[in-house]
C-alpha cells in the first residue's frame, strides 16, 4: 500500500531530523527549510500533511508561516496543515486554525501525540476525498423533488409529502422565511395526479391590496379605470391544477371572506362580473406567521384557518437540521461553482466550522445566498469564513469590541437580514421584530441601511 506523504517545514535541522526519525517508518517524508523549498515540494508532490513551524525565520516571525497555509491549500484542497509552535506562540496557532490549518502541537514534540494528530488528519483527508467524489450522488440520494435533506425531520417531511400528495385536501405549510415552503408545495403538486397540469404561485404579500383581488379572481373589461380588457385571475389559470397562496397571512379580512367562499364551493366571480365560474383546483397555502395568534388578534378568520389547515405541515429551521447544513452548503458550492466556471471549489476547515456554528436566521435561503456570493467574489479555490461574511470560529482578534459595539453590530446585521428577507416591507418587518414603524425607520437611518 502506498505511503501517505508528509512535508516537514522547519528551519531547525535538528527538529526536522527528529520528526523524520519518528515518522519515516509509516510515511514518505519530504523536508524543507524555507518558503521556496516548501512551495516547490508542495507543488510537485501534493503532500497529504504538512508539519510546519509557525515562525520559519526570526525576521518574519509568524507572518511568513501563516501566509503559507492558504498556498498549501490552493495546491491541494485536501492537504492538512499542522503547525509547530512554541509556548509563546499559542495565539498565532489559534489564528492559524482560523486561516484553515488543521491543528497544532508544541515544541518539543510528543511523538505519540503527534502520530495521533497525523492519523486523525489523514482519516479526515480520506473522508473529504471520498465525499468530493460522491457529492452529487449523495445529494441525489437524499433529494426528493429538488428538496435536499438527510436529517430525520426532512426524511419525515418526504414521507408526509408522498402520503398527502395523492389527495385533494387543502394543505397549510408553516415555517420561517427561507425554510423551503414553496419547494414543498411544488413537491406536493409534482407528486400528485395533477402534476401534468399547471402549478400557479401568487405571493399575497407582494401585491398591493387594491390589485390583489383582481390578481386572484380576474376582472371583466371596464370593472375599474385600468381594466381595458377581460383578465383571468390566478385561480382560473390554475384550473385543473394547483394554486399556491404564499404569505396567506397577508390577506385582508375582505379577501379572506372571498377565499373562504372558494374553499366552500369552489366557485369564483371576476371583479365586475356577474357569472359564477366553477373551478377544479387544489389549494395549497403557506405562511411564516403564527395564524392562531392572528386569529386571537382578530386579523385572521378562524373559520378560514381551519379550512386551510385540513393538513398542516411545519418546516424545520435550518439550524435544527444537523448535517443537512453542510450537505446543502456543499451542494450549493458545486452548483454555483459549475455555473460560474469555477469547478472543484471547497470549504476550508474554518469555513466549515463557521457554517456549523452560525445560527442561520434566514435559513436555507440565507445559506444559498451566502454561498452564491462567495463563489462569485472569492478568487480562491478554498472558501473562507470572510467570503461567506461569517465570523471565524476560534479566530484571534487583536482589538476586541466593546459590549456596546457588539450589540450594535448584531442589531444591524439582524435588521438588515430581516429587511432583505421580507423585501423591505416595513410593516411586515416591524411586526416580526415586535417594534414600531417609527423605531424601525430610526434604526435604518442610524445604521445607514439602503435597499
Q: Are residues 363 and 293 in the same domain?
A: no
Q: Is residue 145 part of a domain?
A: no
Instruction: Work out how many domains the chain is built from and give that number.
Output: 4
Same domain, 285 and 239: yes
Q: Is residue 53 part of a domain?
A: yes
Nearest-angstrom CA–CA distance, 327 and 94: 27
Instruction: For 54-75, write each residue's pLDDT tens digit.
Output: 877 655 556 667 888 888 887 8
Q: Residue 440: give the domain boundaries.
A: 399-451
Q: What is the pTM of this model?
A: 0.61
Cα torsion through 302, 306, 309, 315, rounded to 10: 40
428 domain-assigned: yes
Whichever domain contains 367, its CATH number is 1.10.8.60
Report which of 104, 136, 116, 120 is spatially closest to residue 343, judged by C-alpha positions.
136
Among 346, 345, 330, 351, CA closest to 394: 351
Q: Tens digits of per-residue pLDDT, 355-388?
A: 998 999 999 999 999 999 999 998 888 899 999 9
Whether residues 18 and 90 share a domain: the answer is yes
**Strand ranges, E, within 99-216:** 103-106, 143-144, 147-148, 171-174, 199-203
Full DSSP string of 244-262: EEETGGG--HHHHHHHHHH
Question: Which domain CATH number covers 448?
Answer: 1.10.10
pLDDT tens, 90-144? 777 777 887 778 888 888 878 888 898 898 888 877 876 765 555 544 455 567 8
Question: Does 48 fall in a domain?
Answer: yes
Together in a domain, 118 and 161? no
Amino acid at each position: 500500500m502506498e505511503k501517505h506523504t508528509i512535508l516537514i517545514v522547519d528551519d531547525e535541522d535538528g527538529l526536522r531530523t527528529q520528526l523524520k526519525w519518528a515518522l519515516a517508518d509509516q510515511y514518505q517524508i519530504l523536508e524543507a527549510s524555507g518558503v521556496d523549498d516548501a512551495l516547490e515540494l508542495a507543488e510537485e508532490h501534493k503532500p497529504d500533511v504538512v508539519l510546519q513551524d509557525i515562525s520559519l525565520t526570526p525576521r518574519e516571525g509568524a507572518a511568513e508561516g501563516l501566509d503559507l497555509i492558504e498556498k498549501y491549500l490552493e495546491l491541494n484542497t485536501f492537504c492538512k496543515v499542522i503547525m509547530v509552535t512554541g509556548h509563546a506562540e499559542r495565539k498565532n496557532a489559534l489564528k492559524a486554525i482560523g486561516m484553515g490549518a488543521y491543528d497544532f502541537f508544541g515544541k518539543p514534540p510528543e511523538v505519540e501525540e503527534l502520530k495521533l494528530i497525523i492519523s486523525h488528519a489523514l482519516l479526515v483527508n480520506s473522508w473529504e476525498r471520498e465525499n468530493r467524489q460522491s457529492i452529487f450522488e449523495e445529494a441525489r440520494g437524499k433529494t426528493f423533488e429538488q428538496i435536499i435533506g438527510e436529517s430525520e425531520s426532512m426524511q419525515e417531511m418526504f414521507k408526509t409529502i408522498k402520503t398527502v400528495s395523492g389527495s385533494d385536501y387543502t394543505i397549510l405549510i408553516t415555517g420561517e422565511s427561507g425554510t423551503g415552503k414553496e419547494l414543498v408545495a411544488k413537491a406536493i403538486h409534482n407528486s400528485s395526479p395533477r402534476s401534468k397540469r399547471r402549478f400557479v404561485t401568487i405571493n399575497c404579500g407582494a401585491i398591493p391590496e387594491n390589485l390583489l383581488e383582481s390578481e386572484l379572481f380576474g376582472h371583466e373589461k371596464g370593472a375599474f379605470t385600468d381594466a381595458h380588457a377581460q383578465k383571468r385571475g390566478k385561480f382560473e389559470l390554475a384550473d385543473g391544477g394547483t394554486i399556491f397562496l404564499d404569505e396567506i397571512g397577508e390577506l385582508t379580512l375582505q379577501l379572506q371572506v372571498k377565499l373562504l367562499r372558494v374553499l366552500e364551493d369552489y366557485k369564483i366571480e371576476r371583479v365586475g362580473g356577474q357569472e359564477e365560474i366553477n373551478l377544479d383546483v387544489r389549494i395549497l397555502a403557506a405562511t411564516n406567521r403564527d395564524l392562531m395568534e392572528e386569529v386571537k388578534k382578530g386579523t385572521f378568520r378562524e373559520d378560514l384557518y381551519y379550512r386551510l389547515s385540513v393538513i398542516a405541515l411545519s418546516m424545520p429551521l435550518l439550524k435544527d437540521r444537523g448535517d443537512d447544513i453542510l450537505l446543502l452548503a456543499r451542494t450549493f458550492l458545486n452548483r454555483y461553482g459549475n455555473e460560474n466556471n469555477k469547478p472543484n471549489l471547497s470549504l476550508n476547515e474554518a469555513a466549515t466550522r463557521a457554517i456549523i456554528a452560525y445560527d442561520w436566521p434566514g435559513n436555507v435561503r440565507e445559506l444559498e445566498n451566502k454561498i452564491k456570493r462567495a463563489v462569485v467574489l472569492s478568487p480562491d479555490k478554498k472558501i473562507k469564513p470572510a467570503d461567506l461574511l461569517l465570523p471565524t470560529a476560534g479566530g484571534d482578534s487583536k482589538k476586541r469590541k466593546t459590549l456596546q459595539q457588539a450589540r450594535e453590530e448584531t442589531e444591524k446585521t439582524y435588521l438588515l437580514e430581516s429587511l432583505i428577507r421580507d423585501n423591505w416591507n416595513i410593516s411586515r418587518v416591524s411586526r416580526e421584530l415586535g417594534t414600531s414603524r417609527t423605531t424601525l425607520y430610526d434604526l435604518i437611518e442610524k445604521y445607514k441601511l439602503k435597499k
